[in-house]
Chain A
Amino acid sequence: MTTTETPATTAPAPTASGRRLTTAKAMVEGIAQEMERDPSVFYLGEDVGAYGGIFSSTTGLLERFGPDRVMDTPISESAFLGLATGAAVEGMRPIAELMFVDFFGVCMDQLYNHMAKIHYESGGNVRVPMVVTTAVGGGYSDGAQHSQCLWGTFAHLPGMKVVVPSTPYDAKGLITAAIRDDNPVVYMFHKGVMGLPWMAKNPRATGPVPEEPYEVPIGKAAVVREGRDATVVTVSLSVHHALDVADELAADGIDLEVVDLRSLKPLDRETVLVSVAKTGRLLVVDEDYLSYGLSGEIAATVAETDPGLLRSPVRRVAVPDVPIPYAHPLEYAVLPTRDRIREAVHQLVRA
């Protein structure tokens, strides 16, 4: 186990006037500060060295920390995720990048049978303080095997924490918290929130980020917009879309509350329930598949606690149970777009 003392965790408030970064740069800054602080932290994965991560998750880390701590791996996810698990068990704090979450199929035994179970099977005597970073999401015609979110799959399986930032501030705070956590944490960054110049870019992907290290607590949702008429519970890029729609609909007199879950495991059910108790209406927006996933879990949370909170039936906007199409118009027909969110809100508030 690492013996490095973990510093105070008080998160500074993001200020509108502060220094601004893209989500990708905020993530890298968080990793770099933890690598600076704790020599047991290292990063490995495909194209994370000289390339800097194909979605800029590691830009500049090789130059700063050298090849012993920023390692390019062969294309063998099972090998390097197993390596990371072993290193974590021996007291290192590895961050292993699975280039696209879609590739989990070739390494899932290492992840869910080993990384996610060792701490249970050892009765808590062996800790696995590792982070799996992985790129998720579609919207840029990368096809069925490079566009999925799949966070519902990881959150479904016991033993892993799952965090999904949507803003630069949370990207830095959650990667810091993930690295310091003694449990395996899966950190899923949507390519569309990274603020990459070569992808479709929402202004919300650039924002204020404090320069000092800080943690965003894992397992705590954020009410990112307060409103009275309906609650939109969502995560990742869909938070940007939901906020865009909320701004539009405010002009029509519809006042949306938007909850950014930020963590899927542990899930902050309390924040969801408090919001739904206030608004009486719930829309869940999820870029993962519709069935057996996050949207059903949120709906069940309300139904199990008190269905009387709802003034109208729950609505869900998610990817229907089909592989993500390559063709742009077809892809945008299945993604949870602003148009689909707006339509669902109208149905919800009219019901």
Chain B
Amino acid sequence: MTEVLFPQLSDEDPNGEGVLATWFVEDGATVAGGELIAEVMVGKVTSEVHAPAGGAIHLAVHEDDVVRQRTVIATIS
């Protein structure tokens, strides 16, 4: 099982919170390694999240949820 982390976008505030802005995949979907799966935001800075591995994805947070950087947002198995 591979964990997908909310990326650290702010070096000044590494424990700061961000928002899971968009899920491009649905819970349970099969994803390929490198596939675009989400867009996240800290402040007005956005970043894409790509699947670190292929497999079935389980989403751990909802769209628009506030999430601390580097916490698990999904698992792929």
Q: A195 near B22 (CB under 8 angstroms)? A: yes
Q: B22 near A206 (CB under 8 angstroms)? A: yes
Q: Is B21 an interface residue (CB 8 A)?
A: yes
Q: Is B46 an interface residue (CB 8 A)?
A: yes
Distance, CA A109 to CA B3, complexed state (A): 56
CB contacts (< 8 Å) of A292 on chain B: these are none
Q: A21 near B24 (CB under 8 angstroms)? A: yes
Interface residues of A in 179-196 (CB under 8 A from B): 195-196
What is the total number of residues of chain B having a CB less than 8 Å from a CB of chain A?
Answer: 12
Q: B46 near A22 (CB under 8 angstroms)? A: no
Q: Is A74 an interface residue (CB 8 A)?
A: no
Q: A22 near B39 (CB under 8 angstroms)? A: yes
Residue A197 contacts which of B24, B35, B41 (CB distance < 8 angstroms)? B41
CB contacts (< 8 Å) of A201 on chain B: these are 21-22
Q: B25 near A197 (CB under 8 angstroms)? A: no
Q: Is A20 an interface residue (CB 8 A)?
A: yes
Q: Is B51 an interface residue (CB 8 A)?
A: no
DSSP majority for the A interface? loop
Number of A-B contacts (CB under 8 A): 27
Q: Is B73 an interface residue (CB 8 A)?
A: no
Interface residues of B in 2-38 (CB under 8 A from A): 19, 21-22, 24-25, 35-36
Q: A198 near B24 (CB under 8 angstroms)? A: no
Distance, CA A201 to CA B22, complexed state (A): 9
Distance, CA A183 to CA B41, complexed state (A): 38
Distance, CA A25 to CA B38, complexed state (A): 12
CB contacts (< 8 Å) of B46 on chain A: these are 56, 196-198
What is the total number of residues of chain A having a CB less than 8 Å from a CB of chain B?
Answer: 12
CB contacts (< 8 Å) of A206 on chain B: these are 22, 24
Interface residues of A in 20-53 (CB under 8 A from B): 20-22, 25
CB contacts (< 8 Å) of B24 on chain A: these are 19-21, 206
**Distance between B62 CB and nearest chain A CB, rounded to angstroms:** 13
Distance, CA A173 to CA B58, complexed state (A): 32
Distance, CA A22 to CA B36, complexed state (A): 11
> CB-CB contacts of A194-215 with B at 8 A, as 1s and 0s?
0111100100001000000000
CB contacts (< 8 Å) of B36 on chain A: these are 19, 21, 25
Distance, CA A51 to CA B46, complexed state (A): 12
Residue B41 contacts which of A20, A21, A25, A198 (CB distance < 8 angstroms)? A198
* Most chain A CB within a 10 A radius of its CB, from B21, B25, B41, B44: B21
Q: B22 near A22 (CB under 8 angstroms)? A: yes
Distance, CA A25 to CA B39, complexed state (A): 11
> CB-CB contacts of A93-113 with B at 8 A, as 1s and 0s?
000000000000000000000
A-B contact pairs, 21 of them (CB 8 A): A19-B24, A19-B36, A20-B24, A20-B25, A21-B24, A21-B36, A22-B22, A22-B39, A25-B36, A56-B46, A197-B19, A197-B21, A197-B22, A197-B39, A197-B46, A198-B44, A198-B46, A201-B21, A201-B22, A206-B22, A206-B24
8 additional A-B pairs beyond A21-B24, A198-B46, beta carbons within 8 Å, are A19-B35, A19-B36, A20-B25, A21-B36, A25-B36, A195-B22, A197-B39, A201-B22
B interface residues, Cβ below 8 angstroms from A: 19, 21-22, 24-25, 35-36, 39-41, 44, 46
